[in-house]
């Protein structure tokens, strides 16, 4: 087969959903750090979000499955921990999708900008931790809905 | 007189010290899963434990690489016995009540955050990379454990009493974090890690500030338990912990799913 371009690979990876937050892709999440051909061997560099995130091994499996489905035969996944993942790498598309899904996107101020349900800014933190390592638990004081906030790191 | 150690031997010991601290504390904290006073605390403790176990994979994974005998992080975690562990005693003591667990977490997080900050400029790029990655998580741990120590210390009469008792109980385990030996000297010479003793002033300033806000009194005693990071003498508790943590790999060698 002819070697697909790097742009094509990125596009395919943008079709792989995050296993915990399926509304955004692995590319949106900013964890795909590189796509590189060496002869007929494709190397994809992936960085973990949190050291202990249990989704990491599923993510690797999903990348491998997706690329094999597209006919990639020789594939190598490389874990790259430096530079460390930061929520600055979330794509704008990903941030919008998160909010539409009900998860407040990360803010440098360290808390959500507004309630993803009613847009109120009258918010309170329930817990610094949430349903996955990357999220904290907040509540809207106006619509009273609890919601996840994507932590800013 | 003991034979001098090589740089690689010292490096391996250093990595075991880092990885065993996070492994054993991660296991201890995970014991709370399903038992915390409220759901949010349960989730917070489980998340902290998860981070620590994840960090362990980096440290012990690198330890296996440096040792060069083909061992994985899992092999090192699950197939060693008590005398091979290099964690400080603080992390292996039983959880006690919620207050003691959070006090231990705070005393450890404070050291951990300072240590990782220094390791970010390690001459070994792998160590610097792990430190850069994990320091972000640890900053978060410290923020939460410090907040909780203040909230409970400066809380009700009972929560204050329990936090003071926790501090009194744990204080003799703090000193071990700052003891230097030949392994540390070798790491300093190689530019890989700082001298543990050099972290003490920054540590005392940090915990002094938080504990004062928490209205808690640091015990006036310099007595310290030691023997964990050198492996000379662990507490009786570590063996019990390992029987739980390691039983599956011991009973069904090589099992995975």
Which domains, from first to last, does chain A contain? 6-88 (3.30.300.130), 102-150 (no CATH)
Q: What is the mean pLDDT of residues B154-168?
A: 98
CA-CA-CA-CA torsion sign (A74, A80, A83, A84): positive
Cα(B204)–Cα(A24) distance, rounded to whole angstroms?
A: 44
| Per-residue tokens: B113 | 């955050």
* A52:B52 CB<8 A: yes
**How many Å lie between the alpha carbon of A4 and the closest alpha carbon of chain B?**
32
All structural domains of chain B: 7-251 (1.20.1260.10)
**Given this model, what pLDDT does residue B2 score?**
60
* A128:B144 CB<8 A: yes
Cα(B63)–Cα(B22) distance, rounded to whole angstroms?
A: 14
**Given this model, what pLDDT does residue B99 score?**
96
Bridge partners for A42 per DSSP? A37, A75
**How many Å lie between the alpha carbon of A111 and the closest alpha carbon of chain B?**
13
Average model confidence (pLDDT) across chain B: 96
Cα(B23)–Cα(B228) distance, rounded to whole angstroms?
A: 14
Sole residue written with tokens 């994840």:
B54
**Given this model, what pLDDT does residue A130 score?**
87
**Given this model, what pLDDT does residue B3 score?**
65
**How many Å lie between the alpha carbon of B4 and the closest alpha carbon of chain A?**
34
**Given this model, what pLDDT does residue A82 score?**
92
Largest CA distance in chain B: 55
Among B44, B58, B125, the residue with its CB nearest the CB of A129 is B44
Show the low-confidence residues of chain A (pLDDT under 70): 1
Cα(A23)–Cα(A26) distance, rounded to whole angstroms?
A: 10
Please state, for a pLDDT cut of 70, what percent of chain B lies above it.
99
Those residues of chain A whose CB sits closer than 8 Å to some CB in chain B are: 48, 50-54, 81-86, 126-131, 133, 137, 151, 153
**Given this model, what pLDDT does residue A110 score?**
86
**How many Å lie between the alpha carbon of A116 and the closest alpha carbon of chain B?**
21
Which of A75-79, A95-99, B1-5, B60-64 has the lowest average pLDDT? B1-5
Q: What is the mean pLDDT of residues B190-217?
A: 98
Cα(A132)–Cα(A138) distance, rounded to whole angstroms?
A: 14
With bands split at pLDDT 50, 70 and 90, how would you rate the model's confidence at B134? Answer: very high
With bands split at pLDDT 50, 70 and 90, how would you rate the model's confidence at B111? Answer: very high
Residue of B nearest to A125 (CA): B40
Bridge partners for A86 per DSSP? none
Residue of B nearest to A134 (CA): B47
What is the ipTM score, two decimals? Answer: 0.87
**Given this model, what pLDDT does residue B256 score?**
81
* A151:B140 CB<8 A: yes
Sort strands A135-140 and A146-150 into parallel, antiparallel or unpaired. Answer: antiparallel
* B43:A50 CB<8 A: no
Largest CA distance in chain A: 58
Whether residue B218 lies within 8 A of chain A, CB to CB, comes out as: no
* B136:A153 CB<8 A: yes
Which of A50-54, A112-116, B3-7, B149-153 has the lowest average pLDDT? B3-7
pTM: 0.94
**Given this model, what pLDDT does residue A53 score?**
84
Chain A interface mutation, best of B33, B129, B133, B256, highest count of A Cβ atoms under 10 Å: B133
Q: What is the mean pLDDT of residues B141-170?
A: 97
**Given this model, what pLDDT does residue A101 score?**
96
Cα(B86)–Cα(B9) distance, rounded to whole angstroms?
A: 13
With bands split at pLDDT 50, 70 and 90, how would you rate the model's confidence at B242? Answer: very high
Q: What is the mean pLDDT of residues B107-122?
A: 98
């Amino acid at each position: 087969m002819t070697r697909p371009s790097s742009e094509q690979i990125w596009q395919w990876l943008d079709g792989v959903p995050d296993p915990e937050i399926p509304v955004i892709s692995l590319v949106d999440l900013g964890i795909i750090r590189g796509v590189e051909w060496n002869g007929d061997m494709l190397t994809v560099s992936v960085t973990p979000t949190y050291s202990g995130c249990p989704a990491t091994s599923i993510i690797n499996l999903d990348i491998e499955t997706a690329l094999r489905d597209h006919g990639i035969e020789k594939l190598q996944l490389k874990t790259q921990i430096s530079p460390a993942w930061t929520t600055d790498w979330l794509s704008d598309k990903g941030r919008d999708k998160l909010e539409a899904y009900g998860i407040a996107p990360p803010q440098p101020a360290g808390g959500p900008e507004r309630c993803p349900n009613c847009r109120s800014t009258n918010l309170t933190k329930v817990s610094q931790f949430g349903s996955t390592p990357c999220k904290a638990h907040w509540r809207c004081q106006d619509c009273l809905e609890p919601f996840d906030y994507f932590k800013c790191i | 007189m003991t034979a001098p150690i090589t740089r690689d031997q010292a490096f391996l010991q250093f990595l075991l010290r880092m990885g065993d601290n996070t492994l054993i504390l991660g296991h201890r904290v995970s014991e709370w899963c399903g038992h915390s006073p409220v759901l949010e605390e349960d989730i917070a403790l489980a998340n902290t434990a998860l981070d620590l176990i994840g960090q362990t994979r980096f440290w012990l994974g690198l330890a296996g690489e440096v040792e060069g005998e083909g061992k994985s992080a899992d092999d090192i975690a699950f197939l060693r016995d008590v005398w091979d562990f290099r964690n400080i005693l603080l992390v292996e003591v039983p959880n006690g009540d919620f207050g003691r667990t959070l006090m231990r977490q705070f005393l450890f997080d404070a050291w951990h955050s300072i240590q990782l900050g220094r390791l970010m400029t390690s001459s070994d790029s792998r160590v610097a990379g792990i430190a850069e990655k994990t320091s972000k998580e640890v900053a978060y741990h410290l923020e939460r454990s410090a907040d909780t120590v203040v909230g409970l210390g400066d809380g009700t009469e009972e929560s204050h009493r329990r936090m003071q008792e926790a501090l009194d109980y744990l204080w003799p385990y703090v000193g071990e974090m700052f003891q230097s030996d030949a392994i540390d000297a070798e790491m300093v010479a190689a530019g890989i890690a700082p001298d543990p003793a050099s972290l003490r002033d920054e540590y005392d300033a940090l915990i002094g500030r938080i504990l004062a806000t928490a209205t808690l009194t640091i015990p006036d005693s310099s007595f310290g338990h030691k023997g964990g990071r050198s492996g000379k003498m662990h507490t009786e508790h570590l063996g019990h912990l390992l029987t739980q943590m390691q039983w599956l790999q011991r009973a069904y060698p090589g099992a995975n799913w």
